[in-house]
């Protein structure tokens, strides 16, 4: 928007040398990405978000600054995107999961138990819970909601695969019968595809018209696509409104430009934002009116090594590559400390994470020794690395890696590709046509190690996300055993998953680069905020309050 504005000014000024226009546009577009956009954004900020300041005596309004549309989906059964940030405040699930403490909090269910064989789970529902439609929630809604989600088959509905059938012996009891033991407590508290809603009104078109039918503390007041979503408090919320400092309204404003979001935060027109580049966050750390909140996330950066193509089909070469990666440099300088070096694929803070796993460290001498052993004492080969075009973290990591590999005599060609092309190349029918190293991020659908170990490294006849093309029957068996154990004994399953990861590290199936931290910037008046990586980017507004009151 603003880029065009500055561009037009450039036209008038340099018009005589038509060709120069392009140079000016190029330069100004570059600048516009930063400075110019900030000015314009600040200008119209007063209109929509300004209500957050100066009205503290009447009602408390919190403003969340988003980089893209919040309500991608309106149907709680189909939800699989950004709307989680709003929906977790509009809808509720039976339980809520705290992955860092590995603990469940009762929400719509007050108590639950599991049969000895792990196949039958019984949930006792909270009484007197009202939907935003005014109806009281009963077991029929729970059964109906989940069955509708499964039947629609959208979002993360596959998490219900272990489910056989649901029984509702009375209005406040729900019994789940499973086909095989599975961690149903995790499934019913999932961020997607586990919402309970009023099944009587559930209709795709009705939802898409901007309606909600949840039990949560907030309900939709208004929505303007691409601009903002306003949630207002639901007076009949079962939890009550006991603290006068709680927010009456929450505004989600869509502000794509990072620089503009930064400026809005600095001028007190936002209470929460995320997705700012590390350099910008560094600049905000010194601002006394803002807080920078860092929490471990479940997102990590992986470098998938092509185990099928020479010379990376030799495990010694792969190990050498793993020892040549400058893990600490990337964490310290590219991520500015907002990440920690990985220990295998399962990220820090999640069950199944193995802090004691033997992660290969940066050690060029060891890399040289391994290369010599494999018959490449002076390197002498070249590799192709692909990354997703536009991702600055991946590009900088790749360039740092390129320098390290060059010192081993390995020529690294770095290719920036749009993700679809990168993925297509990775799945070329001929393995020899594929890349040697592929950088990408991974995060879970369900807080379950299976999300990595199964999808990324289990043998696949048709390649989907096993982009290392790793195939090891011993590993496959371990993962399958772990998945089966997870429904009965999570500790046992975690131990099995750690054994499986040990195999991945021994075989150097990938570069496990870093586990990312989520970095949010909040205003000083946002009290009670705690990040929960199981629900990415979600603020539970009901639990926060206006600390400036």
Partner 1 sequence: MFRRLLRNPLSAFGLVVIALLVLLAVLAPVLAPYPEDAVGATVRPERQFEPPSGEFWFGTDDLGRDLFSRVLFGARISLVAGCMTIGLALLIGVPLGLAAGYAGGLVDEIIMRVTDIMLSFPPLLLAVALAAAFGPSLTNAVLATGLAWWPWYTRIIRSAAAGIRSREYVEAARAAGAGHATIMGRHILPNALPPVLVQASMDFGSVVLTTAALGFLGLGAQAPQPEWGLMVAIGRNYFLTHPWVVVFPGLGILITVMAFNFLGDGLREVLDPRLGRARR
Q: Applying CB under 8 A, which residues contact partner 1? A: 17, 19-20, 22-24, 26-27, 29-31, 33-35, 38, 259, 262, 277, 279-280, 282-283, 326, 329, 332-334, 389-390, 392, 395-396, 398-400, 402-403, 406, 414-416
Residues in CB range of 61: below 8 A, 6 or more apart: 51, 52, 55, 247, 248, 249, 250, 251
**Cα angle value 207/108/197 (rounded, 5°):** 15
Q: Where are the alpha helices (DSSP H) in 138-230?
A: 139-152, 184-188, 204-208
Backbone angles phi, psi at 333, to 5 degrees: -105, -40
- CA 47 distance to own-chain centroid: 31
> At closest approach, how far in Å is the CB of 400 from partner 1?
6
If the CB atoms of residues 262 and 368 are measured against partner 1, the closer one turns out to be 262
Q: Which is nearer to partner 1, 50 or 277 (CB)?
A: 277
3-state secondary structure 288-307: CCEEEEEEEEEEEEEEEECC
Q: State in angstroms the smallest separation of the CB of 420 from partner 1.
A: 14
Nearer to partner 1, 93 or 269 (CB): 269
Smallest separation, CB 441 to partner 1 (Å): 18
Between the alpha carbon of residue 302 and those of residues 209, 272, 363, the distances in Å are: 40, 29, 19
CB of 65 to partner 1, least distance (A): 16
Nearer to partner 1, 140 or 283 (CB): 283
Task: Give the integer Cα–Cα distance in Å for 6 and 34.
Answer: 12
Choose between 202 and 398: whose C-beta lies nearer to partner 1: 398
- Alpha carbon distance 256, 484 (integer Å): 43
Residues shown for the chain: 549
Tell the smallest beta-carbon distance from residue 406 to partner 1 (Å): 6
Q: Least CB distance from residue 521 to partner 1, whole Å? A: 15
Q: How far is the CB of 527 from partner 1 (least distance, A)?
A: 29
Instruction: For residue 254, count CB atoms less than 10 angstroms from its CB and return exposed for 0-12, middle for 13-18, buried for 19 or more.
Output: buried
| Distance between CA atoms of residues 217 and 91, nearest Å | 8
**Cα–Cα distance between 92 and 198 in angstroms, integer?**
11
Closest CB to partner 1 among residues 42, 277: 277
Measured from the CB atom, is 1 or 530 closer to partner 1? 1
Q: Please report how close the Cβ of residue 339 comes to partner 1 at its closest, in angstroms.
A: 14
- Comparing CB distances to partner 1, the nearer of 33 and 239 is 33
């Amino acid at each position: 928007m603003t880029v065009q504005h500055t561009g037009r000014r450039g036209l008038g000024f340099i018009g005589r040398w038509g060709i120069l226009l392009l140079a000016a546009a190029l330069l100004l577009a570059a600048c516009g990405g930063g400075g110019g956009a900030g000015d314009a954004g600040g200008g119209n900020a007063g209109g929509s978000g300004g209500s957050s300041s100066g009205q503290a005596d009447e009602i408390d309004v919190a403003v969340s600054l988003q980089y893209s549309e919040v309500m991608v989906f309106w149907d709680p059964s189909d939800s699989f995107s950004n709307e989680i940030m709003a929906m977790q405040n509009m809808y509720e699930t039976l339980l809520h999961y705290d992955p860092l403490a590995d603990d469940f909090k009762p929400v719509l269910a007050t108590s639950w138990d599991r049969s000895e064989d792990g196949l039958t789970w019984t949930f006792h529902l909270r009484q007197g819970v009202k939907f935003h439609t005014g109806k009281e929630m009963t077991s029929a809604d729970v059964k109906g909601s989940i069955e509708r989600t499964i039947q629609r088959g959208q979002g993360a509905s596959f998490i219900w695969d272990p489910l056989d059938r649901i029984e509702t012996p009375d209005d406040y009891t729900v019994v789940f019968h499973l086909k095989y033991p599975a961690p149903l407590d995790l499934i019913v508290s999932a961020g997607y595809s586990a919402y309970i809603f009023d099944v009587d009104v559930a209709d795709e078109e009705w939802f898409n018209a901007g309606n909600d039918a949840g039990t949560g503390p907030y309900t939709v007041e208004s929505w303007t696509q691409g601009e903002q979503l306003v949630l207002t408090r639901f007076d009949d919320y079962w939890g009550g409104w006991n603290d006068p400092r709680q927010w009456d309204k929450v505004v989600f404003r869509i502000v794509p430009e990072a620089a503009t979001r930064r400026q809005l935060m600095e001028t007190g027109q936002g209470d929460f934002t995320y997705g700012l580049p590390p350099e910008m966050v560094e600049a905000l750390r010194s601002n006394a009116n803002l807080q920078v909140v860092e929490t471990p996330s479940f997102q990590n950066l992986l470098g998938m090594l092509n185990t099928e193509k020479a010379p990376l089909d030799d495990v010694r070469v792969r190990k050498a590559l793993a020892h040549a990666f400058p893990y600490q440099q990337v964490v310290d300088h590219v991520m500015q400390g907002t990440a920690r070096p990985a220990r295998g694929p399962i990220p820090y803070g999640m069950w199944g994470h193995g802090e004691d796993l033997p992660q290969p460290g940066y050690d060029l001498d060891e890399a040289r020794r391994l290369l010599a052993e494999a018959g490449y004492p002076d390197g002498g080969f070249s590799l192709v690395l692909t990354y997703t075009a536009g991702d600055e973290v991946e590009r900088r990591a790749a360039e740092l890696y390129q320098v390290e590999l060059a010192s081993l005599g390995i020529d690294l060609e770095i290719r920036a590709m749009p993700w679809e092309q990168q993925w297509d190349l990775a799945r070329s029918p001929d393995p020899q046509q594929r890349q040697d190293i592929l950088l990408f991020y991974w995060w879970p659908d369900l807080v379950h190690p299976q999300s990595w170990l199964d999808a990324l490294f289990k043998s696949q006849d048709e390649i989907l996300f096993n982009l290392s093309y790793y195939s090891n029957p011993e590993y496959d068996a371990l993962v399958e055993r772990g998945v089966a154990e997870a429904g009965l004994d999570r500790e046992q399953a975690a131990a099995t998953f750690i054994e499986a990861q040990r195999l991945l590290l021994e075989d150097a199936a990938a570069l496990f680069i870093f586990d990312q931290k989520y970095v949010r910037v909040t205003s000083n008046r946002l009290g009670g905020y705690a990040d929960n990586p199981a629900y990415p980017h979600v603020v539970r507004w009901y639990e926060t309050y206006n600390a400036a009151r």
